[in-house]
Amino acid sequence: MFSNKNFFRGIYRKKIISVLIILSLSSISSFGQNQAAIDSLLNIFTTSKQDTIKIETLLKLSHLYADNNPQKGLQISKKALLLADNSGNKKVIADCYNNIGLYNRRLGNYPEAAEYYQKALNVYRKIGKIQNEGNCYLNLGVLYGNQGDYQLALDYFQKSLKIGETNGDKDNVAFCLNNIGNIHLSLGNNSQALEYYQKALKINEELNIKYAMAICYSNIGAIYGAQKNHTKEIEYYTKSLKIDDELGDKNGLSSDYSNLGNAYLIVEDYTKAMEFSQKALKLSEETGDKNGIGWILSNIAKIEIQLGKYNEAIDYATRSLTIANEIGDLEVKKLACQRLSTSYEKLQNPSKALEFFKIYSLTQESLINVEKNNQITEMEARYQAGEKQQKIEKQTLELEKSNAEIKLQTTLKYAFIIGFGLMLLISLIIFRNFKNKKRTNAILSKQKHEIEEKNEELQVQNTEITKKRDEIEQHLKYTQKLQEALKHDLSHYMQLSLRKIINPHFIFNSLNSIQSFILQNEKLEASIYLSRFSELMRNVLDHSLKEFITLKEETDTLGLYLELESNRFEGRFSWNIHMDETLTPEKIWVPPLILQPFVENAIWHGLMPSEKEGKLTITIKNKGNTMLFSIEDNGIGREKSAFLNKTRKKRESHGIKITEERIKIINSLNNIDFQISYYDLKVEENTGIGTRIEFLLPLIQPENYD
């Protein structure tokens, strides 16, 4: 969905300050890999006699390569770690761990990155560096966000955000808000994502952090892209590109070029789409960013498909798939397999197309996890509730502090009065104090009683609310389990239906027919038959993944099946599909593959055992708010068919039973009234001359099913 390899970003551009080095990272990043800056740092390193200064100098030097040569940055950071280990300075050791984690993430070495980030986090905790601990949480969130583990990523972002808000670290808070917005965007929660991005952008504009502003512009552009407002999308990506170009940030530029390439691909400006994508690929290859290379190669493959260059598309998609498998990125793998399946299909290679379509489907299933989405939502709700509780506790503490100050002032006042009164009349002061104390105790006693009564009322209300909430939660859980069970059964029977249609006998006989054409050198007939067979297989695969398809799609697929069966049986039967002219098949929805089991049953058990020329008629009529489906054959009839099945081994056929089970489940999920009737056609002597099957299906409007 996103080609932006910096979709999640952490904090690594932190100032490293020493007594002798007055050079902040902001000044370093302004001149990139400037040779003068490199020479200056190397001179400090060689002339300094203090290990701490040498280590800090190496870390500064590594940051010069952060955007352009992460491999070099990794090597320098490891040298710094060797010196840090000898110095015993735990803070500096943790800084080295953090740097090594950063460059491993940039290079796609995710397990190593997680290991070093965790090492840095453990050290910062031990030495009490809270702000650095928060930065480590942020970097870990970025790492797992890039790998698609949004639940774990959100947990780390929230921990970092809490520390940043407590310490007043606005820079860290902005990063956390931006990354939490990225998680919502990846889950399709566009409005929530935009809210977090705007909060982050406001902070970054206040602090004038340009590269962070570029990130926000890029992500807001992604929101407009999701909302199909591509003019605004391109506008915000261009804003991000302008800032990254000014900063000389190669990773940011690669991200911007890739995003613009995607946007122009959607608006079908393939020339600009290819131009920006190639620029992005070149920069990602220069920086060694494997994750970014995988995304961009997949996007270029899609552009080549749109241009009809399917062999070139296969080359780019194959390279993308290799990288995805190497770094374990499921999103990139899914897109690469989709591109390969489409390209091979266009090149008339159905076996390869089906192979990669299966891999694509399995990868898609791994990525779709509704339960994880619910857990993330629940986690954020707990976090927000905790935040509110903290505010309440803070206000309570301030109120108690204020009350204590008031009591102290009151005590001092009374002390002054008592001291002054002692000089006048000690006995009168004692009596007055006794009277005031009695009155105060009475008031306090009354207030205490009222508070206790209020607490009891609140406790009763809280108990009732908890009980109601538990009842509602139990009901929701039961409903969800029931719906999940029904959907699982529906999926199960849809897969059974799919295996019924694509049975080994049908495929084997169809392939034999193709082979026969080839052996007889009837190339045209073989090509036509193979094309129709491939089209049928693709339709069946596509439709089996959907709950409803259009009536036109259903009848087209049924026509392909009848055409192949009629050819295979050398014209032993003819067929027709009649549809009421008042029906618009493109705007009517039906359950997929609902007619085929009845048609197959009519062919095998009605027409094939008959010696006369077979005729099969499928009729679809408009009956007000319903449609009447009729399948009629002139075969041997159900009674004779049943007799023959007893005297010889019958061909197993469970398609109708499977279809009836599907119908029951669809009724439960959609409240549809579905009826099936069977009629034996006979002459006066009660001789069977065929069978007619009829069933009613309510009209389903397209706005209910997209």
pLDDT in tens, 274-331: 999 999 999 988 888 888 899 999 999 999 999 999 999 999 999 999 999 998 888 8
Does residue 593 or residue 654 have the better pLDDT? 593
Angle of the 370-424 helix axis to the 150-167 helix axis, nearest 10: 20
CA distance 275 to 162: 42
The 3-state DSSP class for residue 332 equals: helix
Name the β-bridge partners of 617: 576, 632
Does residue 293 or residue 188 have the better pLDDT? 293
DSSP string of 153-180, one letter each residue = HHHHHHHHHHHHHHHT-HHHHHHHHHHH
The rounded mean pLDDT for the chain is 80
Average pLDDT over every residue of 94-115: 90
CA 480 to chain centre: 21
Going from the C-alpha of 291 to that of each of 317, 328, 453, the distances in angstroms are 14, 10, 63
Provide the CATH number for the domain formed by 497-704 in this structure. 3.30.565.10
Do residues 119 and 104 lie in contact, with contact meaning Cβ atoms separated by under 8 Å? Answer: no
The 3-state DSSP class for residue 624 equals: coil
CA distance 519 to 489: 45
Degrees to nearest 5, angle at CA 214 with 263 and 333: 50
Degrees to nearest 5, angle at CA 248 with 245 and 253: 55
Which contiguous run of DSSP H or E holds residue 338? helix 330-346
Assess whether pLDDT exceeds 80 at residue 410: no
The 3-state DSSP class for residue 277 equals: helix
Least confident of 203-212, 370-379, 410-419: 370-379
Does residue 59 or residue 28 have the better pLDDT? 59
> What is the end-to-end Cα distance of the chain in Å, rounded?
20
Residue 5, token pair as written in the block: 């390899």
Least confident of 156-160, 507-511, 682-686: 682-686
pTM of the model: 0.43
**Pairing assessment for the beta strands 614-623 and 573-579 based on DSSP bridges:** parallel
CA distance 528 to 526: 6
Give the torsion through C-alpha atoms of 515, 517, 521, 527, to 10 deg. -100
Chain length of the chain: 706
Residue 573, token pair as written in the block: 């039967």
**pLDDT value, residue 10:** 46
Residue 488, token pair as written in the block: 């699982």
Picking from 619, 661, 611, the residue whose alpha carbon sits closest to that of residue 636 is: 611
Picking from 706, 681, 700, 699, the residue whose alpha carbon sits closest to that of residue 691 is: 681
**pLDDT value, residue 162:** 92
The 3-state DSSP class for residue 522 equals: coil
Q: What is the DSSP letter of 583?
A: -
Tell me phi and psi for residue 229, to 5 degrees.
-100, 80
User: Where in 183-341 does DSSP place strands (E)?
Assistant: none
